[in-house]
Structure 1
Amino acid sequence: MPHTFRSQLICLIAVWGVWIASAHAQGTDALNSFLKKRADAFMVITGYSLTPDVTTGSLSITDRSGNNPNLQMISLGGGDRLSRNVPLYLEGTLAVNRYNPSFIGTVGNTSVDVPVHWNSITGTGGVGWDFPLTNELRIRPIANIMLGHLESDLSIASRVIENQTGADLQFLKNGRMNTYGLGGSLMLDYENYKLEREIDIELRYTNIEMNTFDTSKAVQGSANSQSLSLWARNRVPTPLRFFSMPIRAVMEAAHTEFLGDLRGALGFNSLSSLGGGIEFDRSQSEPLFSRVRIVFRYQFGQNVRGTSIGLAASF
């Protein structure tokens, strides 16, 4: 074999090898990039359930027409002053979310389509103080802190992807991300209670900055949870009784504008809710819960419609 031809062949093989390695690295980087985007997206999604909000307290989104994500969100939360005479306000929210996007990637001629399930649990606490403006109206600054844990059930999916592509996706193996959030809220609270009706109106702005900690470098990031919400409820006594418990009719309306990273993250900028139900007054028997409410809600927003049932209790 002529020396010149042999040198050219060696160079060609070397270039071909570098090209294959580069294509493989690009494929691995593309999959890891896709994964990080989904992890970042889930961080944003957790921002919808950091504070008590009837529009996002129970939210499920499914689009069966394509490969769009499935999402289930459920939260339990509430807040109130310690008493009428103590202006210290405490609140808390515990939320569980499940996000199921379709993981689709291509490496060379290989196409990968594996379901990727994210599960998270978040807890948010708030401490505030009431400053009266009138007998019925008060302003309430609140300091909020949040802790969250995200985990993927992808040990099987990671092996499928690695077998088909050779990509080493460490985060899929570990599948964990921890988050914390610090921020605050400012609320205007109006309460007008009389024998013939009880009116509650709350206007609230919330801003909580979320960051990762004790997490793989590949998925470290941050997200901002901002919202502006208006909530109103009217309770009216009825002549009806249930086992000697007076029954009130409950009418409710709420609207939330999502700001910052939350705006448009799920395809809508705002959510509204209209609800009606009944409330049982158990105060005469001095139980743990003085009032129990059942409210049926219709929720709607851009391209979003749904119904929910809410169960609440007052201490």
Structure 2
Amino acid sequence: MPSAVTPDRPLPVYFIGHAGVGLLFNESPQNRIVQDNLRAVGEEIRAISPRPKAILTFSGHFEAGEIHGPGVIEVNVKKETYIMHDFVNDFHDSAPFVYEYDWPHRDAPELATEVWRHLTKSGIKAKRVERGIDHGVWVPFKLMFPPEDPLDVPVVQVSTFYGYDLESQIRLGEAVASLRNEGFLIVASGMAVHSFASIASIRSAPSEEARDLARREVQRESRAFDTHLREAVAKRGAAERKDALLKLASLPEFRRSHPTVEHFTPLLVAAGAAGDALEGGVPLGTDVVEPGMSYLNVRFT
């Protein structure tokens, strides 16, 4: 059982680049680096003492639904959650085994309800829902906490806000920041760059020469945005970091790097939860930036 001891300092906050299910079986050199980076983050989390009482997750694949209206956060209180095979691509022909993947884990509906109450007391509109664990959580966690060395604390899933109000995501992080003093370890899961549209523009180019040109341009855009993002998260002061992150949306590379924002918003939640940090967001592991994708992992302490 995990320790219920209150930590003597706020627990760290992590942002991880979760990738897709191909992360679990693709053995390309770049993919192996991403795998090793996540395994190292998992080892770091397992070394935290006293143990967190739960991991509080925010995923790029769990935006609050429109059913509750704008500005409402969803907290998953389901018992015995299943993992969702919610893949963008259809793997039934190319890799049917991915639909058999599982990831043993523990739930804690009572702790989820505690988080829900905390959010409502903090002025955040929140609803309790029942859902499974999306691949933005279980795919990276399957590497970070494999069956032979399983996660020994439960997982509590909270949505990000629905829509494009980026500042609201930072406010959400600020609202859960104090839970770091109560034994909750915050792990936000998204991507520093996530652009299937950019990847499609490379593939649809009419010639190999045009594809090479498009690939170089997308790589330049992805690297440029990744660099600006690293500079923003490195700010130690919460106000300065918030200002730098929100200004990223005005960059010409932003829309190309994030045609939709759901993979960017978990990082904003993490940055908001970090508050004034002893050190800014520290990149973890070996740098991997591909055309249209960045697998950045960050720790805030």
TM-score (norm 1): 0.21
Higher relative contact order (CA 8 A, sep 6+): 2
Q: Which structure has greater helix proportion?
A: 2
Q: Which structure has greater strand proportion?
A: 1
Mark the structure with the bigger radius of gyration.
1
